[in-house]
Structure 1
Amino acid sequence: MGALAAAACAGLLLTGGGDPGPRPLSADEAERMALARFRTYRVSPSEITLRAASGDGSAVVRAVVDHRRHRAVGWYEVTGAGRPDGGLLAWDQSGLAVADGAPTPPAGGALRAAGRLKPTAWTRRAFGAAPLDTALRLALSLGADRPDNAQLLAQSGPLRLRDERVDGRRYDVFSGPRPRPNASAYSSARSPLSYWVDDEGGLRRVRADLGKGRTITMDLGGVRVRGVSSLPGAPWGEG
């Protein structure tokens, strides 16, 4: 969980009681929050849909994320200022790569399309400051190979905000742990991140408020993509 708090956006959370209004997490909620990234990791590779909005346009990414290898492949579509754009997108912790392709709804279709391309078909670049780049980096941080420390997590200031339903199912909405500007103290400001978590610790949605009308929303599939043992290696110069 320290990795999330240290990133541009930080934290993770879990289900709460029925009392209204923001409040600190209970011990039980902190325990369940500490499992959320681990549960996301266990169902990997899984689907995710990212939406990044700013004042001059928006981007949508439908992808399959492999949290074990910290890689993802999917479709992207950009609308707004300038010419609409879209195609194949792959990313890891060091940057992203794009290639030509006609986006189709199933994220799994991007894996098949990417698997047919050679490494030379991809154009790579480092991450920048755009909301989409922030979303891609944050998506890779949502899985961890072990539970977080519940006690330390609770001390970092996450809050239970409210109840909400998504696709007919109830979720608790939590703010993330507060940003930590140095090694000894947490900021008093509320985290820009909010998480939708079910009563078993399953992470369904993450939202980040980047300010100035820029937002990120990520919807997680929550189940392993069948028939996928690994992602295509061509975006990383493999094969």
Structure 2
Amino acid sequence: MATFLVVDSDSAPAGPRELTSDQAGRLAVTRFLNFQAGGRAMTINVPGTAGELTFTGSIDYRGKIGYGVVRGTGRDTSSDGLIQWTAANVLVHPMVNAPAKAPARPPGSGWYSRPLQKHGSSLDSSLAIALKLGSDRPDNAELLPQNGAAWVGRDRLDGHQVDIMTGPSAERATSGTAGTSGTAGASGTAGASGTAGAVRYWIGSDGTMYRVRVGVASASRPVVIDFDTQKYVPVRPVPGVTPAR
């Protein structure tokens, strides 16, 4: 069963409109298009009281694995370095002078493994959310509006005209009908503590996902995930390590 990120009804923007059938259809297929593409390049900006962390890299949505480089802004370099992750495990390769882009082939040594933290880590919550933005099947377009998904407005990103939409509300997505639409069960992921934050999707006319903004419980401001910020580089697993899924 697919899992769709949700938006807390208390955090929904003022004045949303009901989705048209076209908008619902595009919202329903946007994660499936990521899966069909195989993978997407992205930049993830993670705010924090100690400074911002920025991930630059790629996610293989079919292999369910991400890889790239993390760099801090306005903070020390203790979190800087290469990172590769799945839904269960994180591999980190600390670097004092982390490059702007990760090498296409991960180093063969210097990695440390740890479980992906489900609570208390804004970075891990952001990585988990980014990994869920691909699905091997579309969501149910008819049930998305019934469960609170809405149109918020229009924008233009890198030359693309996009519609801004919210996902289903947390309250409706956890009701008995939501489970049949593939929308239930993501509130803990989005909020990282069982409380979903506000989620907005910037979606093009063909259903392509260009940006996602999501509230994470452990972050003071929303996390922003921008797609196609650089060329997609296929993800190669760290040599000698079998990713835990």
TM-score range, shorter chain: 0.7 to 0.9
Q: What RMSD over aligned residues (CA atoms) do the two structures have, in Å?
A: 3.0
Query: Could you give the per-residue CA deviations for residues 64-120 of structure 1, whole angstroms, max 9, x where no partner exists?
Result: 1111111011001124455554111000000211013443334xx4332x1x314xx
Contact persistence 1:75–1:89 (CA under 8 A): yes
Aligned to 1:192: 198
Aligned to 2:192: none
SS of 1:3 mapped into structure 2: coil
Aligned to 1:15: none
Query: Could you give the per-residue CA deviations for residues 17-45 of structure 1, whole angstroms, max 9, x where no partner exists?
Result: xxx94111112211111110111112223
SS of 2:163 mapped into structure 1: strand
- The CA distance in 1 between the partners of 2:73 and 2:165, in whole Å, is 30
- The CA distance in 2 between the partners of 1:144 and 1:85, in whole Å, is 29
Map 1:19-34 → 2, pairs under 5 A: 21-34=15-28
- The CA distance in 2 between the partners of 1:86 and 1:38, in whole Å, is 31
Aligned to 1:179: 170
SS of 1:40 mapped into structure 2: helix
Identity %: 26
Structure-1-length-normalised TM-score: 0.79
Contact persistence 2:65–2:85 (CA under 8 A): yes
Corresponding residue to 1:70 among 64, 69, 72 = 64
1:232 aligns with 2:241: no
Letter in 2 for 1:30: A
Residue range with higher mean Cα deviation, 215-224 or 30-39: 215-224
SS of 2:123 mapped into structure 1: helix
How far apart are residue 185 of structure 1 and its match?
A: 6.7
Aligned to 1:125: 114
Distance 1:184 1:222, change over 3 A: farther
1:134 aligns with 2:125: yes
Distance 1:71 1:235, change over 3 A: farther
Letter in 2 for 1:232: P
Ranges in structure 2 where 5+ consecutive residues have no aligned partner: 8-13, 179-183, 185-194
1:105 aligns with 2:100: yes
How far apart are residue 159 of structure 1 and its match?
A: 1.1
SS of 2:228 mapped into structure 1: strand
Contact persistence 1:66–1:72 (CA under 8 A): yes
Corresponding residue to 1:156 among 147, 152, 168 = 147
Contact persistence 1:77–1:103 (CA under 8 A): yes
How far apart are residue 183 of structure 1 and its match?
A: 4.4
SS of 1:153 mapped into structure 2: helix
Aligned to 1:49: 43
Aligned to 2:208: 202
Letter in 2 for 1:111: A
Residue range with higher mean Cα deviation, 144-153 or 88-97: 144-153
Structure-2-length-normalised TM-score: 0.77
Query: Could you give the per-residue CA deviations for residues 98-156 of structure 1, whole angstroms, max 9, x where no partner exists?
Result: 013443334xx4332x1x314xx211112232211111000110111121111122222
Ranges in structure 1 where 5+ consecutive residues have no aligned partner: 12-19
Aligned to 1:220: 227
- The CA distance in 2 between the partners of 1:235 and 1:99, in whole Å, is 15
More strand by share: 1
Residue range with higher mean Cα deviation, 77-86 or 151-160: 77-86
- The CA distance in 2 between the partners of 1:143 and 1:95, in whole Å, is 18
SS of 2:32 mapped into structure 1: helix
1:89 aligns with 2:83: yes
SS of 1:104 mapped into structure 2: coil
How far apart are residue 191 of structure 1 and its match?
A: 5.8
